[in-house]
Each structure stands twice: as C-alpha cells, then as structure tokens.
Amino acid sequence: MKAGLRCGFHDICNSSVEIPACPLTQPSENTWVAPLLARDITMSFPKLAPSDLRAAAARLPRVPLAHLPTPLEELPRFAARLGGGVRVFVKRDDCTGLLLGGNKARHNEFLLGDAVNQGCDLVVWGAGVQSNNCRQTAAGCARLGLECRLYLSKGHYSLEAQGNLLLDYLVGAKVEFTDAAIGPELDALLATKAAEFRAAGRKPYAWHRPRVIPLAAVSYALCIAEIVEQLTSRGLKPDALYVSSSGATGAGVALGKAVLGLECPARLICPMHWPWHIPTALARDANDAAERLGLSHRLTATDVDADEAFVAPGYGIPSPAGQEALHLLATTEAILLDPVYSAKAMAGLMADVRAGRYAPGAVLVFIHTGGVPAVFADPVGALSGRSSA
C-alpha cells in the first residue's frame, strides 16, 4: 500500500512506505463473504509441508523477538497421574523469551514487524491491567526503540505495580488506566487515541482487531509447523492439540492444522466469551491470515473447535478445575501455568482425557501460552484450591 491510499477497514494502513498489499483493501466480497462460502462447494486444499508454510510467511514483514523454536517436552509424571494411558507433550511457548515468555512474543514478531515496516514511531495498545499481551508488546517496543502507550482496563484488578503491570513500567511503557471494558469499548478508545496522536504528527501503530488478529494468527500457524517437525523427528503424529484461546492464537492454530493437513482435533479452550460467535470470527481471521500468506486454504466456523465451557466462573477468575491443573502440573513437572489462561486450557485437556475421549497411547500436545507473571499479581488466588498440603 502506498502513501495516500487509505484502507477502508484499517485506519492504521496509512503508511508512506510500501508494504505487502492489504487484502482488506479489496472489495469486501473477496474477504468477508467468499471464504465462508468457499467450503460449500466442497473445495479441497493442498497439504503443505512446514517449510512451505515458512516460505509463505517470509513474504510478511517480521522482526526477530522470540526464542524459536520453543522446546517440545513430554510430561510423563503428569500423564501418569492423569491416567488414561495417554502421552502428554507441552510446547513451551512460556519460554519464548521477551520478558518472561508467552504467546505474544510470536505475535509481536509480525505485529511490530508491520509497525516498523510502516515507519511507525509509537505503539498504542490496550487490554486488562494484568495483560500479558501488553507486557510483551511493551517489551517488544523497548527492544525496537518504539514508544509504547498502554491503556489498561481496570476491571476487578488491583492497580498495584505487580505482575505484568510491574513489568510494563520496568520496560518504560507509558500507562493510563481506563474504565472502558475490554472488547469493542476499549477498541474504540484505542482508535480515538491513535487518531489524536496522528493529528499531533505522530505515526502510531494501533491495536485494530481486523488488522492485528490475522497477522498474529500467522505466527501460530507457524507454531503448528514447529510442532509437526518436532513430533516427526520422534516418529510421532499428534492425536490432539490444546491451546488457551478465544482469538488470534486459536485462529492461527486452526489455520496451521488445516494448511498442514492434520486430521486431529485442535481444541481451543476459551479463556473468555466475546459478544460475537467465536468460531465464525476465528474462521474469518484464519482466512484473512491465509490471504496474507497467499494461500488458498479457507476455513468455516465448523473447522474451529472453540470450547467455552471452561471460562466459568468468569474471565480472569480462577476455576477449581484450572487450579487443580495448575497444581498437578507444578507438582509433577515443575511447570507453572497461570490461573487465567493456561490452567483453564489444561483443565480442558484433563476433562477430555477423563471423559475417555482418547485411546491409550494417544499423543496430546498442550501449547503453553505463558501468562506466568499474573501468578505474582495474585499469589493468594494462584494458591487457592491447592490439592496437596
């Protein structure tokens, strides 16, 4: 996209440098409707090798921020305690680096790559006070010399400088708190702030869902490629993938599974509900990601296995099943989950195994998306429901 051309959907696509064409500048039927219809005419898509997927991603701007590939480790003591004879592997995306790890290190390689490529000098981001997203975005900005402005939704959190918030301050982010709720209300605030900075002569790169979710999703399609290679080198194939996601990470996992031709379930255990139908939104985001990659693959909502049953008692509030998962993994393998995201996702895996969903010997891969700093923001909450004295 060239200077002066404005993308109809994306108010951040006002770059003065050339970037790969934004597919959403095309007529809307190319992006929002056609992908969902594509499967009705029973299209079949080519199965790509991990190296093909990497080659497709090489067309996108990217900055190196994450420690990749992350290790894939087997959890024999955890699996033995879980029962059912399954084998459980963990993809250690809690070890991506970038200020204590997590999934946003992968995301930010593409998002901040996009920002740098557009010549932006400022990143305008927001989420909850204990956002892992904001912590790793602030860290990426520090690494790249970009100013970082965070607008953090107060929710029920303490505003004490603990956990992720402490780390935001330590890497130099400028933080403001807001009563705007996470989701459409906060998105609107970020758009307003970005417009103010733009009017003042700055070049902000702002959180804008239709742009950032597909780009971030690309990074998790690539994570699936890593997993496939790591399992193949051990002579294994996955029988199921599990990850905590209601958003970009899950869109990328679903896309990676489709593009690489995996037949196993990819279970997205949702940490939160959204005011939209999650499988439909994620299929659309995965399709936008595929377009950016120049791939013909298209998903429908039925290709996205998003399970909202583990959100209760609410987003950000620990659940008894999540706390059991957190303590079982910590005490058997010394790997820490966080109560908000990864513990609830592991609770989903455990519930499926206990329900007899998998035969003995099945290979289950749990993608650990990080989130561990939140444990230090709420150590009492993290300890609640401790199963061993």
CA–CA distance, 40 with 46 (Å, rounded to integer): 17
Q: Which of 31, 70, 103, 162 binds ligand PLP (CB under 6 A)?
A: 103
51 is catalytic: no
For residue 157, give the amino acid letter.
Y
CA–CA distance, 203 with 122 (Å, rounded to integer): 6
Q: Which stretch binds ligand PLP (CB under 6 A): 26-34, 137-145, 323-331, 366-374?
A: 366-374
Instruction: Check if the beta carbon of residue 169 is closer than 8 Å to that of residue 159.
Output: no
> Which CB, 35 or 128, lies closer to ligand PLP?
128
> Which CB, 125 or 341, lies closer to ligand PLP?
341
CA–CA distance, 61 with 241 (Å, rounded to integer): 28
> Which CB, 15 or 96, lies closer to ligand PLP?
96
For residue 75, give the amino acid letter.
L
Q: b vs e for 101-136, b when ≥16 Cβ sit within 10 Å of the residue's Cβ?
A: bbbbbbbbbbbbbbbbbbebebbbbbbbbbbbbbbb
Q: Which stretch binds ligand PLP (CB under 6 A): 168-176, 223-231, 238-246, 328-336?
A: 238-246
Does 318 bind ligand PLP (CB under 6 A)? Our answer is no
Candidates 131, 153, 219, 342; catalytic one: 131
Does 369 bind ligand PLP (CB under 6 A)? Our answer is yes
Q: How do beta strands 87-91 and 72-74 pair?
A: antiparallel
- Nearest distance from C-beta of residue 4 to ligand PLP, angstroms: 33
Q: Return the residues of window 12-51 that contact ligand PLP according to CB under 6 A.
A: none
Does 108 bind ligand PLP (CB under 6 A)? Our answer is no
Residue partners of 380: CB distance under 8 A and separation at least 6: none
Does 279 bind ligand PLP (CB under 6 A)? Our answer is no
Q: Which stretch binds ligand PLP (CB under 6 A): 55-63, 174-182, 197-205, 369-377?
A: 369-377
Structure-block tokens of residue 379: 């150590």
Does 133 bind ligand PLP (CB under 6 A)? Our answer is yes
Active-site residues: which are they? 131
